Amino acid sequence: MRRSSFLIYFLGFFIFNLPLTFAQETAEVVNERILYIKPDGVNYMQYWTQRSNYLSCWVGLDKGRDVETHYEYIHPKEYLFQENENESFNQLHFNQGSFALMWRGNLGANVSKDTNGVYTYRNDTIRDSQGYYGFYSRPNGFKEFVYVWVLPENLEFVSYDCNQEGDWVQRGGTLSFYGKETNNLLFTIQYKSIEETPSEVEGRAVNITHTINVKTPNLKIMVWDDNEEDGDIISLRLNDQWLLQNFSLKNKKSQIHYQLSKPDNYLLLHAVNLGKIPPNTAAITVDDGILIQRFVLSANFGESQGIKIQYVGE
């Protein structure tokens, strides 16, 4: 398994290092973690709360993080920050067993995206020196563990799994896991963008004829008439933006630069007239700096053709 980034160290790694009294040995830990995923699928706002009857506790924080600027909410407000020279993380100590934290972060190496646009989140970690991994609590595990993901409107869940037993509940864009008497939890959660294929533009039906993948968001788009110039006039639209309007196609290529801001994008050819030789036809290339992809689109007064451009990253 790969070692997790800050998200797992901080979310999944907290230890109780106290004298072994009866109260400590029988302490009950209730832990809730809520991730509000941003529309880009990788950034988030995180709220984490724990309730227990431990006398004190600490959480791990990646080195290089500044407590005062990283956390947007800390309860209780009294705490002790300790730098560890011989560890890969620092410690945030609380003089009680219950706390709440909130901060912004990035899923980083814990999330990947395939060519179909599906994000896969995994909190795989290697075991520590005492055999703990994933989301865990020392020394007695969790009496209750609740893990919640809240997706924005442009994303939807595909699948979800945990290596420990528990109940899953999905309500709209919110997915919750409820576990009892558990520890060392590993999650795999998949999600993707909700398709927003345009069905019509300005009263004309839309026919998506091609789907292409690009690896960088910065595109160079070329458009021209690769047959006889016959007076075709077009408009070219990418998502909600007109790249060209009332443009006369020539054999000479015209160049447009565009930066994608989301995974799924739609480039549409809209006919302003039909020229001397119907239908209105344009040759188009999309260059992401790695690969140039060519196709031909046609349009008439009843239908606009287009392509879907999926930004899949490197």
In DSSP notation, 187-223 reads EEEEEEEPP----EETTEEEEEEEEEEESSSEEEEEE
**CATH 2.60.40 in the chain, residues?**
6-193
Q: Give tens-digit pLDDT for 132-184.
A: 899 988 888 999 999 999 999 889 999 999 999 999 999 989 999 999 999 99
Half-sphere exposure of residue 125, counting CA atoms within 13 Å on the CB side? 24
First to last CA, the chain: 22
pLDDT of residue 256: 95
Q: Give tens-digit pLDDT for 194-251.
A: 866 777 888 889 999 999 999 999 999 999 988 878 788 999 999 889 999 999 999 9
> Exposed/middle/buried for 148, CB within 10 Å: 0-12, 13-18, 19+?
middle
pLDDT of residue 27: 62
> Please, which residues have CB within 8 angstroms of residue 212's CB and are 6 or more apart in sequence?
286, 293, 295, 307, 308, 309, 310
Least confident range from 28-42, 45-59, 122-136, 286-300: namely: 122-136
What tokens does 54 get? Answer: 């431990």
Question: Do the Cβ atoms of 54 and 24 come closer than 8 Å?
Answer: yes
Half-sphere exposure of residue 78, counting CA atoms within 13 Å on the CB side? 4
Distance CA 203, CA 301 (A): 9
Give the closest residue to 84 by CA, choosing from 61, 57, 55: 61
Band of pLDDT at residue 10, cut at 50, 70 and 90: very low
Cα angle for residues 218, 221, 225 (degrees, 5° grid): 180
Give the closest residue to 106 by CA, choosing from 59, 185, 37, 48: 37
Domain 6-193 = CATH 1.10.1200 = no
Where is pLDDT greater, at 68 or 20?
Answer: 68
Distance CA 279, CA 276 (A): 9
Question: Do the Cβ atoms of 120 and 5 come closer than 8 Å?
Answer: no
pLDDT of residue 218: 94
Average confidence score pLDDT of the chain: 86
**Residue 185 DSSP one-character state:** B
3-state DSSP assignment of residue 69: helix
pLDDT of residue 6: 32
> Please, which residues have CB within 8 angstroms of residue 129's CB and are 6 or more apart in sequence?
none
Q: Give tens-digit pLDDT for 27-37.
A: 689 999 999 99
Where is pLDDT greater, at 293 or 195?
Answer: 293
> Please, which residues have CB within 8 angstroms of residue 217's CB and are 6 or more apart in sequence?
259, 260, 261, 311
Which residue's structure tokens are 């500044």? 66
